[in-house]
């Protein structure tokens, strides 16, 4: 995979699709402008020499935190589905993603 | 009846019968009823729940007359929660339309601990939706106004937490701080705010923003209250695997306090700067040795933050699909959409190395610099924000300008160190000023000690806005 360098413009439509967001055309225009300015601002990181630096993903220094594998009380099924009117036999009803057109 | 202005006196007053818990709830609910239509600090008021708890507290006192605080260290303290803290059976919105109707089936660790310690929950507080913002203006429940002057923002994202305290609507509020979201509103509302060490307070049951940066803290009117609440909320809970119990020991040597020279260059308002000069002289009076320190890479902190944070936001907000709870993704407001898009972009194929990986590497350099500074000094004094409170609407159409508000906040979140924001002084136009005290990881006890001594030396008394 080729690594792209710093860019000035984000392909908003493409990224919105990746993020499952529907945007209006005026949002696309506005975000292109606003996020372009932010991308330009954060480009100052290229001034920093990082070739000897390892990435930091957390600051606690903890590694592989474990607990005893014990069964504890958890949410009841009733509680777990309590937030959706749209359930069936204790399951969530989800939108259809595959359609059987021809039988 | 006027309630005590700190937890200790409040417990004493309840014990001596000066007032009952019911009177406290009456007092605060009356004020909320009368004034919150102007301030808009609450999203949900838990009236019946508060009265029930107050009755329980009054009953407990009859059974346990002498020292209820032994079992209940926050006995009868009236508290309100940023609406990111899950409360079983009580609506929790994150100030977003996506969760407008969401009723959690469990409570956050912090909420359980506070309630078990004797707190009376009076309501859920307004904030920027998903904690995205520095002014409260991204809330789907309307702007919160600064009680000191309604034309100004109370600071965000914990806007309601600062405003409710300054309005005398409750005694303690909770908040989350991912890049200043507790310290800024505390500072803009003349209250004390704590952003604890990353990994000291459980995030379990709190709506996640950016998981490597989110710190769970609170605001109060005094440093002593901040400590009392922290003693209840901190520590391993078995649910958040980033937690560690602190083994910090408070020494008694002469304190060295660092002033990072890079924080006092261009862009810092002269009133804020002159005010911090006064703060420094008070610490000198306390016997502290003041030295200049250099943190040259902290100027990249905000750029690092605006890559790492949206990346983590896009991941955390990915769970809102409207299937198991909450509404659809169409209900996200503009700021959440902006951050999701920016985050998905910096993580996307081809751009990951140039943005996300680069930012994580610069984060390492900043953290190293901060650690080195703390090998020389015990604590660092810095501004909370570059200016006093700004006008509502002033930055709302320019996200980059809004983001730059948090330029002094980023260091503590990136490095995972604690920071205590303390109120001190007012601007010429009567707006709150203050500063932050940062320390090494898990050094909260030192910050509390310094905060207490600063309050005594400067003659601090809690102040409330007249509404």
What's the CATH code of the domain at B208? 3.90.1300.10
A40 to chain B, minimum CA–CA distance in Å? 10
**pTM to 2 decimals?**
0.96
Q: Give me the catalytic one of B41, B135, B139, B157.
A: B157
Report yes or no: B259 and B290 within 8 Å, Cβ to Cβ: yes
Residue B135 has phi, psi (to 5 degrees) of -140, -5
- Pick the closest to residue B49 from B19, B73, B75, B29 (CA basis): B29
Q: Cβ neighbours of residue B320 under 8 Å, at least 6 residues apart?
A: B98, B326, B329, B332
The CA distance from B165 to B175, in Å, is 12
Which residue of chain B is at minimal alpha-carbon distance from A6?
B354
Task: Give a yes or no: residue B130 inside a domain.
Answer: yes
Chain B stretch 326-365, residues whose beta carbon is closer than 8 A to a beta carbon of chain A: 326, 329-330, 332, 334, 337-338, 340-342, 344-345, 348-351, 353-355, 357-365
Q: Would the pLDDT of A9 be above 80? A: no
- ipTM of this complex: 0.90
User: pLDDT class for A96, splitting at 50, 70, 90?
Assistant: confident
Q: Do you know the residue count of chain B?
A: 467
Task: Give a yes or no: residue B341 inside a domain.
Answer: no
Which tokens sit at B164? Answer: 């409710």
Which stretches within B404-458 are classed as H helix?
410-415, 444-458
Q: Would the pLDDT of A1 be above 50? A: no
Closest CB from A6, A53, A82 relative to B354: A6
In Å, how far from its chain's centre is CA B145?
A: 17
> Can B419 be counted among the known catalytic residues?
no
Q: What would you report as the CA-atom Rg of chain B, rounded to the nearest whole angstrom?
A: 21
- Number of A/B CB contacts below 8 angstroms equals 149
Q: Would the pLDDT of A101 be above 80? A: no
Which tokens sit at B441? Answer: 């990881």
Task: Give a yes or no: residue B447 inside a domain.
Answer: yes
Task: Give a yes or no: residue B345 inside a domain.
Answer: no
Q: Beta B120-125 vs B42-45: how paired, if at all?
A: antiparallel
Task: Please list the ranges in chain B whose pLDDT falls under 50.
Answer: none
> Can B303 be counted among the known catalytic residues?
no
Which residue of chain A is at minimal alpha-carbon distance from B363?
A56
The CA distance from B466 to B463, in Å, is 9
Task: Give a yes or no: residue B17 inside a domain.
Answer: yes
Task: Give a yes or no: residue B305 inside a domain.
Answer: no
The residue ranking higher by pLDDT, B396 or A4, is B396
Q: Do B349 and A82 touch (CB under 8 A)?
A: no
Q: Do B199 and A62 touch (CB under 8 A)?
A: yes
CA distances from B190 to B202, B222, B322, B436 (A): 26, 11, 39, 12
Closest CB from B198, B303, B340 relative to A45: B303
Q: Print burial letters for B330-365: b (CB count within 10 Å at least 16), e (below 16).
A: ebbbbbbbbbbbbbbbbbbeebbebbbbbbbbbbbb
Closest CB from B106, B365, B367 relative to A59: B367
Q: What would you report as the CA-atom Rg of chain A, rounded to the nearest whole angstrom?
A: 23
Report yes or no: B244 and B198 within 8 Å, Cβ to Cβ: no
Task: Give a yes or no: residue B106 inside a domain.
Answer: yes
Task: Give a yes or no: residue B181 inside a domain.
Answer: yes
Q: Beta A87-88 vs A91-92: how paired, if at all?
A: antiparallel
| Domains identified in chain B, total number | 1
Which stretches within chain A are classed as H helix?
12-18, 25-42, 77-80
Give the per-residue pLDDT at B397.
92
Closest CB from B323, B329, B357 relative to A55: B357
Q: Print burial letters for B153-187: b (CB count within 10 Å at least 16), e (below 16).
A: bbbbbbbbbbbbbbbbbbbbbbbbbbbbbbbbbbb
Q: Do A92 and B329 touch (CB under 8 A)?
A: no
Which residue of chain A is at minimal alpha-carbon distance from B371?
A59
Give the per-residue pLDDT at B266.
80
> Can B157 be counted among the known catalytic residues?
yes
CB-based contact (8 Å) between B400 and chain A? yes
Give the per-residue pLDDT at B253.
80
In Å, how far from its chain's centre is CA B144?
A: 16
Give the number of other Cβ atoms within 10 Å of residue B207's Cβ: 26
Half-sphere exposure of B223 (CA within 13 A, CB side): 22
DSSP-derived secondary structure letter, B288: P
CA distances from B410 to B154, B392, B402 (A): 19, 22, 14
The CA distance from B156 to B136, in Å, is 5
**In which domain, by residue range, is B413 found?**
7-299+361-458
Render pLDDT for B134-181 as a digit per residue (tens, 0 to 9).
999 999 999 999 999 999 999 999 999 999 999 999 999 999 999 999
Contacts of B399 in chain A (CB under 8 A): 34, 37-38
Render pLDDT for A39-76 as a digit per residue (tens, 0 to 9).
999 999 999 999 999 999 999 989 999 888 999 888 89
């Amino acid at each position: 995979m080729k690594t792209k360098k710093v860019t000035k413009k984000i392909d908003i439509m493409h990224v919105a699709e990746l993020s499952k967001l529907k945007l209006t055309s005026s949002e696309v225009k506005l975000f292109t402008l606003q996020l372009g300015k932010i991308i330009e601002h954060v480009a100052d990181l290229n001034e920093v020499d990082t070739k000897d630096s390892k990435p930091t993903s957390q600051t606690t220094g903890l590694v592989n935190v474990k607990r005893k594998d014990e069964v504890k009380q958890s949410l009841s099924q009733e509680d777990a589905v309590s937030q959706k009117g749209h359930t069936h036999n204790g399951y969530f009803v989800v939108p259809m993603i595959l359609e059987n057109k021809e039988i | 009846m006027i309630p005590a202005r700190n937890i200790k006196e409040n417990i004493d007053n309840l014990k001596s019968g000066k007032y009952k818990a019911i009177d406290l709830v009456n007092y605060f609910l009356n004020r909320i009823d009368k004034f919150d239509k102007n301030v808009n600090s609450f999203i949900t008021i838990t009236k019946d729940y508060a009265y029930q708890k107050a009755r329980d507290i009054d009953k407990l006192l009859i059974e346990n007359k002498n020292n209820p605080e032994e079992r209940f260290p926050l006995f009868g303290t009236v508290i309100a929660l940023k609406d990111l803290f899950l409360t079983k059976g009580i609506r929790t919105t994150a100030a977003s339309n996506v969760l407008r109707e969401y009723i959690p089936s469990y409570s956050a660790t912090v909420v359980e601990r506070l309630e078990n310690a004797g707190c009376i929950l009076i309501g859920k507080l307004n904030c920027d939706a998903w904690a995205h913002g520095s002014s409260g203006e991204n809330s789907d429940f309307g702007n919160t106004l600064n009680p000191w002057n309604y034309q100004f923002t109370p600071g965000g994202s914990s806007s309601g937490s600062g405003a409710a305290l300054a309005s005398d609507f409750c005694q303690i509020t909770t908040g989350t701080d991912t890049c200043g979201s507790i310290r800024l509103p505390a500072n803009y509302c003349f209250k004390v705010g704590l952003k604890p060490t990353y990994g000291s307070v459980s995030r379990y049951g709190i709506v996640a923003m950016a998981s490597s940066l989110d710190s769970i803290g609170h605001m109060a009117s005094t440093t002593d209250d901040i400590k009392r609440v922290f003693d209840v909320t901190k520590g391993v809970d078995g649910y958040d695997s980033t937690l560690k119990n602190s083994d910090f020991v408070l020494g008694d040597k002469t304190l060295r306090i660092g002033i990072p020279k890079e924080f006092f260059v261009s862009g810092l308002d002269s009133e804020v700067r002159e005010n911090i000069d006064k703060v420094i002289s008070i610490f000198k009076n306390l016997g502290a040795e003041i030295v200049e320190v250099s943190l040259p890479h902290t100027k990249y902190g905000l750029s690092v933050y605006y890559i790492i944070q949206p990346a983590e936001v896009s991941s955390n907000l990915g769970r809102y699909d409207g299937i198991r709870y909450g509404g659809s993704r169409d209900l996200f407001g503009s700021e959440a959409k902006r951050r999701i898009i920016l985050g998905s972009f910096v993580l996307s194929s081809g751009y990951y190395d140039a943005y996300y990986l680069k930012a994580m590497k610069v984060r390492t350099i900043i953290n190293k610099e901060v650690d080195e500074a703390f090998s020389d000094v015990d604590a660092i004094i810095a501004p909370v924000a570059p200016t006093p409170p700004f006008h509502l609407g002033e930055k709302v159409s320019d996200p980059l300008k809004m983001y730059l508000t948090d330029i002094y906040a980023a260091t503590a979140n990136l490095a995972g160190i604690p920071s205590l924001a303390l109120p001190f002084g007012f601007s010429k136009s009567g707006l709150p000023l203050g500063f932050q005290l940062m320390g090494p990881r898990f050094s909260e006890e030192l910050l509390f000690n310094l905060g207490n001594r600063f309050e005594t030396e400067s003659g601090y008394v809690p102040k409330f806005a007249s509404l």
